[in-house]
Every structure is written in C-alpha cells, then in structure tokens.
Chains A and B, each alone.
Chain A
Amino acid sequence: MARWPELIGRRRAARNESADALPPGAAASDAAVLLDVFPEPLLLLDGVIVLVANDAARQLFGAYLDGEDVRLAIRHPQATALLSGTREGPVAIGGLGNPDRRWEMAVTTLADGRRLVRLEDRSSAQAGERMRTDFVANASHELRTPLSALIGFIETLEDANGADEGPIRARFLGIMGTEARRMQHLIDDLMSLSRIEADRFVAPRDAIDLAALARIACAEIEGGGKAGGRIRCTLEAPQAMVHGDRAQLLQLLHNVIGNALKYGRPGSEVAVSVATADGNVIVAVRDEGEGIPAELIPRLTERFYRVDPGRSRSLGGTGLGLAIVKHVVERHRGRLDITSVVGTGTTLTVTLPLALIP
C-alpha cells in the first residue's frame, strides 16, 4: 500500500529541492500540523494528487488518502468539474460519508501552485430549511391522527346505541378521551413553543431559585402518580438563583424529567441534581435507558423529531418536548447538553448563568 505515498514523497522532494532550500518534506509536514488544527476536512493538492489530508478529512474518507488522486475520494461530478477548472466558485455536493450530509466544496490555489480543497458541512443549514417546510406538514399530521380516531369512534358510537352495548360505549369514550387529551397537549405545546419564541429577545428578569423549583417539579411529578418513587432529587446547592421565567423553567423541568421517566427502563432510577459551579447553575437529569446514538443527538431538539416514532407516540409524547426545552434554555441565555451512552442511559444537562442578587 505504501507505494503511492512514497513515490509522491520522492517526486515532491525532488521538486522542493530544485525550487528552494527547504529540507525535503518539511513544508508538507508543517502543513500537516497546521491543517490538523481545523475542524473541517481540508486537502492540500499537488495537481490532483493529495499531498496532505488533515484529521477531519481522514476521518471522513478513511486513511488511504495521502498520495492518491483526489478524484477517487470526491467523485461528485460537480466536484470533478471544479477540480479540473471547468467550473468556478464553491459547489454544493452530497454523498461524502453519510448520504444525508451536504457539503460545500471550495478550491483555493496557493501562491506556490498547490491547491487547498475545503469542505464545509452544510447539513445543518439544509436540515433547518427542510425543517421549516416540514413543520406545517408534521403539525397537521400530528393533529389529524387523533382527530381521525375521534371521528371514527364517534361514527361507531352512533351505531352502538343498544342497551347491552354499555361496556363498548365506555371503552370507546375512554379512547376518545385519551385522543382528545393528546390533541390538547399538542396544541398546548405548540402554543407554548410559539410564546417562548415570541419572547426570545426579552431576557427574563424574575429571580427564581432553581433548587426550590426542582424540588417542586419532582414533588409535582411524584404527586401525579406516574413516577412511582423513581426520582432521586439531589440538591447540592441549598439555593441556586437565576434570572428566569418561573412558568417556563417549571415546564422545562417537567419535560426533561418526564422524558427521563418515559425513556428510562421501567423501575430504574432518574437522578435529578442541581449544583452551582463557576457562576453557573447546573441542572442535570440522568436516566438509565437505552441511550441514543451519538449521530442522532443533534436532531433531538428538532420539532416532531423522534428517535423511535412508534414508541414515543405510544408513550404519549407530542414530539415537541425537547424543542420547548431548547427554546426555554436559549431564552435564559443558557446551554443545553445531551450526552448518551447506548445501552447505559442519557444525561441531559442545562447550564444557566447564576444571578447576582444582592
């Protein structure tokens, strides 16, 4: 396997010696060190041969790149046109690594004639655009599903009016109640989402004690009877004051703890902790569930995104919980981190700036 790199190395070394007095290979290794710093995939080319690929590029394409023809790795016709000079300007290409990712590729010619290929990940921008168009479709789909169930049962009930059909009627009414409440939840969630978004630029000003609020949220959820004593609330700080909106922060805690209860294994513990560190309040909620694959974590806060659609819907989720959490955290100038180990569980951490209250 080593023949191409060695060969190119020699060819390049010969050229370097004739051009200037740099020791052979020094420029390339300098470039390699420099390029590795950048997070986006970068390739340094001599003609069409890859001289140096940085860490990100090697991760994307595999380790074979050095000394190979760049067209082997980037096969997209637009990219070929750009590399051969028949096309100008950056091009949008897909199909590098994961088929869903979209990249913008730009080629810059350096002063010494070598070329630098830069690949910029545009998947999230594209996903954002798609999300907006998908939102209406998703929302109407989510609203229509319970509605069609309701209409179906109403039609059936019109026929099931015999004297001995009481149990059937009761069962149908029960289902109808569940479906109607699901729709109500969904509309409530949609409305809070748009309310939070509307006050996005208005920083909340009330002084809220997150430790106390976490205790209240845990008590409310346990009181609702769905937790079954699974919540363990640890308040490391006796008081954790933030500037906040009480209702929104309470909803955040409800959503996060509710998710942990839903997706944790039955009977497993959900650990809620509130601590202060470096001028921040850190609220962490850990569950012991199946965990979430790392590549799906960025999508969790998308509206109506579900890791496992069937399961989440059967648990009564609206698909908006984490979208609300994200917006509340953003409005409170905080940060949301989700870490997960598949098979072990997920930890969701909300970091909010500690309020300086005299």
Chain B
Amino acid sequence: MAMATGHILKSFDEDLAELRALVAQMGGLAEEAIDGAIAALANRDTEAAAAIVEGDRTLDRLEAELERQVVRLIALRAPLADDLREILAALKIAGVIERIGDYAKNIAKRVPLLLDSRGIEPLSILPAMARATAEMVHDALDAFAARDPDAALKVCAQDRVVDDFYNSLFRALLTYMMENPHTISASTHLLFIAKNLERIGDHATNIAEMVHFAATGEQVAERGRGADTLAPVAA
C-alpha cells in the first residue's frame, strides 16, 4: 500500500472501515443463504427455504445503504488512488454479493417444487458442489477482509472445480432425464440449481478479481476457460 499513515481527516478512515464492514456483513448473509438454501433442499424444509427467500430483503437493504454511503464518500471526500480503488471495489463487490444472494434465493424458491425428488440420484452431487461454491465465496471474502491479492488469485483457480461439477452434473441429469422422462420437471429444476451454483462460483471469482485490483491496482489477467459445455460436440 502506498499509504503508510492515516488520513488527516480521521473520520474518513472510519467511514472506509464502516464501508468494508458493511461489505463483509453482506458477505456473511450471502454465505449463510447459500448454505441454508442447500440444507433446505437436502432436508426438504420448505419453512427454512421461505425464511431464506424472506432474508434476501436484508441483503437488498444493505446494498442500498452501502450505495448511499459510497456516493456520500465520493461526493464529500473526492478520494484518489488506492482510496478510490477501494471504495469502487466495495461498491462493485456489494453488487456482486447481492446477486449471489439472489441466486441463493432462487435455489430456495425451488425447494417446494422438489419435495418428491428423493429418488433422483444426481441430487446427491449437489451438496458437494454447493460446498465447493460456498468455499469460494468464503475464501473470496476472507481475501477481501485481509486485502490479500494472493489469496484472491487462489479463489480464481478454484472456479475450475465448480465448473467441473457443473459439467458432470449437466451430463448426469441429461442421462437421467432420458432414462426417466417422468422426472424431467424435477431434473430441470435441479439443473437450474446447479447453474445457479455455477454462477455463484463465477461471481466469487469476480469478487476475488476486484480484491486483487483494489490491493494491487492491476487487473487479473484473463484466465483460461475450462471445457465449454456450449461448444458443439464432435460427433
């Protein structure tokens, strides 16, 4: 960091600290929403699922609050260099966390539709995938808390695992639907849930990239993509 001492206006530092704490608080809520949504799915607990859908409002409220604070900070303090990077990163990360919360909410919303899906085998892979995804979000937020660009880069590398999970689930569910056409509706919901988790993983990578940018001022180089499921299969 270029700055070795605090700002002359101490309240600016306090405002920045408050901003970062708000981001972390949102992150904590999002982490809990992911874990809770998957637990609700595994236990077929519609009440817990409803609570998660309801809880997403808190995330939206916090994001609005954070946006207000960022605008105020920029307007009043005209921050420069690493301060500006940090404030912009906080704003963008908050937006991403809000999206992650939406995906968790979307998973929770599907729980009531999947109450009779007990027999679907690929369902047993979802908790492992959710765990890998939640770990990415957790590590990205830890990197944010520690302002650690190296830890952030490690999160980007983890995305490959989640993508692999998604690809294998996609194939497994496709096969399953062909063999058991009466489960197509339930399997499709599971596929959407897997897609949501995969998107959460991508967003965790976004957080990590912004943490890296805020800490170093350099963008993360475009990473190599894994196998593309949308690419035409060679027959």
Contact = CB atoms under 8 A, between A and B. Distances in A.
B115 interface: no
B148 interface: yes
Interface residues of A, number: 27
Contact of B6 (A3, A62, A76, A99): A3
Interface string A310-344: 00000000000000000000000000000000000
Contacts of B141: 75
Given A1-B147, A11-B10, A99-B135, A71 B3 contact: no
A75 B17 contact: no
A62 B17 contact: no
Nearest to A94: B35
A231 B6 CA distance: 66
A73 interface: yes
A263 interface: no
A68 B13 CA distance: 11
A95 B138 contact: yes
Nearest to B145: A72
B98 interface: no
A309 B6 CA distance: 54
A80 B25 contact: yes
Given A48-B21, A99-B131, A75 B1 contact: no
A77 B29 contact: yes
Nearest to A2: B4
A75 B138 CA distance: 10
B76 to A, nearest CB: 19
B28 interface: yes
A326 B29 CA distance: 41
B45 to A, nearest CB: 17
A61 B144 CA distance: 12
B32 interface: yes
A233 to B, nearest CB: 45
Interface string A54-85: 00000001101000110111111101100000
Contacts of A95: 31, 35, 138
Interface in A84-121: 94-95, 99
Contacts of B131: 99
B145 A99 contact: no
B20 A6 contact: no
B138 to A, nearest CB: 6
B191 interface: no
Given A62-B142, A69-B20, A7 B147 contact: no
Contacts of B134: 99
Contact of B28 (A64, A69, A77): A77
A2 B4 CA distance: 6
B65 interface: no
Interface in B154-208: none
Given A2-B4, A3-B5, A99-B138, A64 B147 contact: yes
B53 interface: no
A127 to B, nearest CB: 17
Interface in A1-46: 1-4, 6-7, 10-11
Interface of A: 1-4, 6-7, 10-11, 48-49, 61-62, 64, 68-69, 71-77, 79-80, 94-95, 99
Q: Which 9 residue pairs spanning A and B have beta carbons closest together?
A: A75-B28, A7-B6, A72-B145, A69-B21, A71-B21, A64-B146, A72-B24, A62-B146, A75-B24
30 contacts: A1-B147, A2-B5, A3-B1, A3-B5, A3-B6, A4-B6, A4-B13, A6-B5, A6-B6, A7-B5, A11-B10, A48-B21, A62-B142, A62-B148, A64-B146, A69-B18, A69-B21, A71-B21, A72-B20, A72-B21, A72-B24, A72-B144, A73-B24, A75-B24, A75-B25, A75-B145, A76-B32, A77-B29, A77-B32, A99-B131
Interface of B: 1, 3-6, 10, 13, 17-18, 20-21, 24-25, 27-29, 31-32, 35, 131, 134-135, 138, 141-142, 144-148
Given A62-B145, A62-B146, A77-B29, 8 more contacts: A7-B6, A69-B21, A71-B21, A71-B28, A72-B144, A75-B24, A95-B31, A95-B35
